[in-house]
Amino acid sequence: MPKLSIVVPCYNEQESIPLFYPAVEKVVNKMPVEVEYWFVNDGSADKTLDELRKLHQQNPDKVHYVSFSRNFGKEAGLYAGLEATTGDYVVVMDVDLQDPPEYLPIMYKYISTGEYDCVGMRRTDRTGEAKFKSFLSDKFYDVINKVSDTKIVNGARDYRMMTRQMVNAVLSLKEYNRFSKGIFNWVGFKTKYLPYKNVRRIAGTTDWSTWKLFKYAVDGITDFSEAPLSIATWIGGMSAFLSILGLIFVIVRRIIEPSSSAFGWASMVCIMLLLGGLQLMCIGIVGKYIGKIYMQTKQRPIYIVKEKK
Ligand code: UDP
Ligand code: MG
């Protein structure tokens, strides 16, 4: 019987775990697979680890967990979970039941035919989410798909089932700044997307504020595209070009009408401030990339394990 590994990153999810496990068990018990769970406790401050220990004691062969020494972020959790799996197929799920387990048999049906390497879930709406947040999300997908060669499907969640071959490919990318949505697409392979309606969190609260999502979006774009660097070059080129035109205008005017002298220091100050601002912005863009190079060259581990069972 093929083995299905379920990877579940958890951060402060003490209320969700006791609901998640039976809900998933109910579904996978009817599937023709052997199942293993790999929960990742991402440095939770609540009783998440205790819940995981309890589950492991009840099902020592089936339920496993990796517990980090501190919070390393969901991306690191995913990496650790995927690394630990041994199954022929691996599925990544959130613990808050926003990734409905009912879809597992359908995903499995598609992937077990051998036609697809990956089956992902794509939500078709964002009910229960703030309008402004949804608007920003939509814009993010527009931008990243324009500037990056790696296409990212709008609404695609991290809820996806992959073959062992694809998991190994994902693990072979050892980059420190991990943007899974991009990585899953970057490795290629044939993916089938199944649409579904958004589901609200079963318990707890989301950890993603609009500001955190914005930073995540900027990281996604800079991880998968060099477009911001080109934009900086273009802005510089354009303003240099415009100032040459301005210079020619001033010289010609001086020749035609020698009495006209320089005037308008207020506009001069504005132009200087504008150029200064643009320069700082471009340095900031370059700095963002240098920062990423810096973090990568340190070769720090993606996560640190405190306990693994
Ligand atoms: N998560 C994590 N580490 C973090 C933040 C979140 O492992 O630093 C986990 C969290 O427990 C959940 C999943 O990642 O299982 C998705 O988080 P959340 O539900 O907050 O995000 P959303 O569903 O709103 O995108
Ligand atoms: Mg969630």
Relative to the CA of 11, which ligand 1 atom is closest? Answer: 11
- Which residue's CA is the closest to the ligand 1 atom numbered 3? 74
- The CATH architecture one would assign to domain 3-220 is Alpha-Beta Complex (3.90)
Site residues for ligand 1, CB cut-off 6 Å: 9-11, 13, 42, 71, 73-74, 77, 94-96, 98, 206-208
Return the pLDDT at 93. Answer: 93
- DSSP strand pairing (156-163 vs 89-92): antiparallel
Return the pLDDT at 241. Answer: 85
Pocket test for ligand 1, best of 46, 67, 96 (most atoms within 8 A of CB): 96
65-75 average pLDDT score: 91
Return the pLDDT at 281. Answer: 85
User: In the sheet that 34-41 helps form, which strands lie side by side, from edge to edge?
Assistant: 191-196, 118-123, 156-163, 89-92, 3-10, 34-41, 63-68, 305-308
- How far does residue 216's CA lie from ligand 2's centre (Å)? 15
| DSSP secondary structure code for residue 112 in this structure | H
**Residue 63: pLDDT band with limits 50, 70, 90:** very high
**Residue 261: pLDDT band with limits 50, 70, 90:** low
Return the pLDDT at 240. Answer: 84
Backbone Cα Rg of the chain: 25
Pocket test for ligand 1, best of 39, 94, 136, 160 (most atoms within 8 A of CB): 94
Strand locations in the chain (E): 3-10, 34-41, 63-68, 89-92, 118-123, 156-163, 191-196, 305-308
Is the Cβ–Cβ distance between 9 and 78 less than 8 Å? yes
Q: Which ligand is nearest to the CA of 75?
A: 1
Tokens linked to 173: 């990318």
What single string gives the DSSP state of each residue in 187-200?
Answer: T---EEEEEE----
Relative to the CA of 94, which ligand 1 atom is closest? Answer: 15
Return the pLDDT at 67. Answer: 94
